[in-house]
């Protein structure tokens, strides 16, 4: 790995490195201690559902607002993962162990950890039910339950992962199989898929394709590899500026992209993948593979889909500017489980957390929220083992870039930020409630340019 000092010679990168350093010093003053499951009370002022990125970050923020003893988080998992790192884990650039920490270590000290699963939401009664049957009431509810992986919607999965040559960067159980399939590849088709559903990190399905192509070149296998990206979408990326840059890369590297193709079946014993032509429903074709990376269909968690807080599609129905529920004013949503019309990424959650913090502050004072979420999200498009295109955009799919240079260009500095700086900022800034996205940094850098 290139030393950080080598790639922070430009003023924006130096500024970011300095900001991160100061953040570390500040975070150390407010060190959060290991949390443990506590005796469950019947009522909390703020109840948070979900121990992922959105749930932990909002628990930290609510602790500062109402006191730790008045906040509880419901989460059954023992482990918390920084999932954006899995792209690099699947490509052999990072270890899976570096992406995870114990749930106890990331829950803010004093905040009660209810180590259970939410099984029912009763917003008209201001309560939820957990798998033990216990009813827990709240004054304010924050829903951060993430998104559900639905491998079973592809015939032959998830049992197909027992076979070689197939992996997925979307699960801690299958991401290392991607790296194994990449290493074992000899010749033939390497296929990468994008499903016909909303997904988290919509750039990830193609990131592993670029990294695989780079690995094949590095190991002398590229001439014998036919690299195919079969996507249900009609374009390589939703923002034209970055789509144009990616299409140039695809052309230069001889990659094959098939649009409007959806994976419907895997035959792992035969090393075959079956795709449906979405423009001709019912029409399918079979492609043999030497390597297959599956991005699974995804959907809202069942407990959300089946509850009164859901919209017609099953997502938490929130105002896209304030993140307050449209029907229940004391309920809020953040992250992948919501119907916010933006990409489902950790960067989006960071920006949402800052706005939601302000929204809840206003609601607690019986005032109208005034801060508005603009849909900011970011997708660091890893195009090589040392290059990233940093895509940043808003609700209108217009670039909303932080740095005062053209971010549609592949850059080493952006790779270092993706691989090393952002994980640090995630663990020490976002989860602890100190990082609400790059809006302030963007203003500082662009003012400096002007």
Give the whole-angstrom CA distance, residue 368 versus residue 371.
10
Residue with tokens 């059954």: 76
Active site residues: 201, 379
* Contact between residue 274 and residue 263 where contact means Cβ atoms under 8 Å apart: yes
Lookup: tokens for 368 = 């109208």
* The 166-167 sheet, strands edge to edge: 166-167, 291-293, 188-194, 225-231, 256-259
* Contact between residue 353 and residue 57 where contact means Cβ atoms under 8 Å apart: yes
Give the whole-angstrom CA distance, residue 309 versus residue 306.
9
* Contact between residue 293 and residue 193 where contact means Cβ atoms under 8 Å apart: yes
Give the whole-angstrom CA distance, residue 95 versus residue 175.
10
């Amino acid at each position: 790995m290139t030393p950080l000092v080598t790639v922070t010679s430009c003023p924006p990168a130096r500024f970011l490195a300095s900001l991160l350093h100061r953040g570390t010093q500040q975070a150390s003053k407010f060190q959060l201690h290991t949390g443990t499951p506590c005796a469950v009370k019947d009522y909390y002022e703020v109840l948070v559902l979900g121990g992922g990125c959105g749930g932990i970050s909002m628990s930290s923020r609510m602790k500062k607002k109402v006191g730790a003893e008045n906040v509880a988080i419901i989460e059954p998992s023992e482990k918390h993962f920084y999932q954006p790192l899995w792209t690099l884990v699947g490509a052999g650039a990072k270890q899976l162990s570096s992406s995870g920490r114990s749930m106890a270590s990331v829950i803010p000290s004093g905040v009660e950890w209810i180590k259970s699963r939410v099984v029912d939401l009763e917003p008209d009664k201001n309560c939820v039910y957990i798998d033990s049957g216990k009813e827990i009431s709240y004054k304010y509810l924050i829903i951060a339950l993430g998104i559900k992986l639905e491998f079973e919607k592809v015939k032959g999965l998830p049992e197909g992962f027992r076979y070689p040559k197939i992996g997925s960067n979307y699960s801690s159980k299958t991401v290392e199989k991607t790296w194994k399939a990449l290493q074992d590849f000899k010749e033939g088709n390497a296929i990468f898929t994008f499903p016909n559903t909303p997904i988290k990190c919509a750039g990830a399905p193609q990131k592993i394709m670029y990294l695989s192509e780079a690995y094949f070149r590095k190991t002398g296998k590229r001439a014998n590899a036919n690299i195919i990206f079969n996507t249900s979408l009609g374009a390589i990326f939703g923002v034209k500026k970055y789509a144009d840059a990616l299409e140039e890369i695809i052309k230069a590297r001889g990659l094959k992209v098939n649009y409007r193709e959806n994976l419907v079946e895997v035959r792992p014993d035969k090393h075959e993948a079956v795709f449906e032509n979405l423009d001709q429903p019912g029409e399918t074709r079979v492609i043999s593979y030497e390597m297959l990376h599956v991005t699974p269909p995804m959907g809202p968690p069942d407990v959300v889909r089946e509850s009164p807080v859901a919209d017609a599609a099953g997502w938490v129905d929130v105002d896209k500017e304030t993140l307050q529920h449209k029907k229940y004013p004391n309920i809020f949503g953040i992250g992948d489980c919501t119907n916010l019309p933006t990409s489902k990424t950790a960067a989006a959650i960071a920006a949402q957390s800052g706005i939601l913090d302000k929204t809840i502050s206003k609601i607690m004072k019986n005032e109208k929220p005034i801060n508005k979420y603009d849909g900011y999200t970011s997708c660091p498009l890893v195009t090589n083992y040392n290059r990233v295109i940093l895509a940043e955009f808003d609700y209108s799919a217009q670039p909303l870039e932080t740095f005062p240079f053209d971010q549609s260009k592949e850059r080493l500095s952006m790779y270092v930020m993706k691989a090393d700086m952002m994980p640090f900022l995630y663990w020490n800034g976002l989860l602890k409630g100190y990082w609400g996205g790059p809006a302030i940094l963007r203003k500082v850098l662009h003012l400096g340019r002007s």
